[in-house]
Structure 1
Amino acid sequence: MQSAAIAAQLNQYVTQLQQEGVLDDQFQQLIQLQDESNPDFVAEVVQLYVEDSSAKIDKIAAMLTTVAEPDFNELDQLVHQFKGSSASLGAQTIAFLCVKLRERCQSCCRSGCVLLLSQIQQAFEVLKERLAVFIQLEAQLKSMAAMQT
């Protein structure tokens, strides 16, 4: 009974994240790939995404703030990778901001890049917080299921 309530809460939370534009249908597809043979699939994908994205954001920030003249081609490549991984996870807001950041990279607009990086950092913090809640709910559901077996 309790696990059904947590499962409903988890589904409702994912729907809410989609309605808010934090995640899109791609995240739902990741959830559907998780099964008994790989019960931690989504948590592992989320953890890898967060670690990889944190490193990319830090590198982008370093390239924009510590170098006299950033290599906009290298920056564009890095942002392109970040956009791809964000889109694969379903982080539509971050993927959209990455598209805008790539446009600024291609026009060599450092101030525009810095502004967009700030927006990406804010969106990433929100995403991390929301994904942490999702992972907690999922862990509760697994724990309840394990107690019932």
Structure 2
Amino acid sequence: MDQSAVIQQHIDQLVAHLQQEGILDEQFQQLMQLQDDSNPDFVSEVVQLYFEDSVGKIERMGQIASSSSAPPNFNELDGLVHQFKGSSASLGAQMLAQLCIKLRECCQTQNQQGCLMLLSQIQSAYDLLKSKLDLFMQLEGKRKMALSGL
């Protein structure tokens, strides 16, 4: 088996493991199937855009939820959570999407403590996803290098 096939096998095992843990769902595999010779960096680009977009959203959600001077703007928070849930679901980040659903429920009942607790869980789940997908991106880079014969 050539090096790129071995690396691809590691990528497939990583994704399967993340699905078993409930971190990713089949949507991520569907994204992987969209990648081909005409768009070899598709998944890496989607993952990178997701992370770039998510950092600001999570930070802003935390700022809104921890507002101490007045009740938080639950409508603004709910809108951000809705956007983050959509981008997480589109990526296949199942665990994050599920936490966002719970956070939206807390927004609708204006439960500030529940929001703060869930935001902490979202941050932890996001950090875990990022570390796992960083490994995925490293493997993708090695696979591309092996394919190009470097």
If the length of structure 2 is used for normalisation, what is the TM-score? Answer: 0.96
Moved over 3 A (4+): none
* Letter matched to residue 105 of structure 1: C
Task: Provide structure 1 residue ranges, at least 5 long, that are not aligned to the other structure.
Answer: none
Aligned AA (1:41) = F
Structure 2: distance between partners of 1:90 and 1:39: 19
RMSD: 1.0
Q: Specify the SS of the correspondent of 1:104.
A: helix
Identical-residue share of aligned pairs (%): 59
Mapping of residues 93-108 of structure 1, within 5 Å? 93-108=95-110
Do structure 1's residue 134 and structure 2's residue 136 form an aligned pair? yes
* Distance in 2, Cα, partners of 1:9 & 1:117: 32
What secondary structure sits across from 1:122 in the alignment?
Answer: helix
User: Where does residue 2 of structure 1 map in the other structure?
Assistant: 3
Match of 2:17 in 1: 16
Question: TM-score by structure 1 length?
Answer: 0.96
Aligned-partner Cα distance in 2 for 1:99–1:71: 18
Structure 1: distance between partners of 2:111 and 2:11: 41
2: CA distance, partners of 1:143 / 1:73: 47
SS at match of 2:39: coil
| Gap runs ≥5 in structure 2 | none
Give the paired residue count: 148
Residue 66 of structure 1 and its aligned partner are, at CA, apart by 3.5
AA matched with 1:66: S
**Counterpart-to-counterpart distance in 2, 1:66 and 1:101:** 16
Structure 1 residue 143: deviation in Å? 0.2
- In the alignment, what sits opposite 2:63? 62
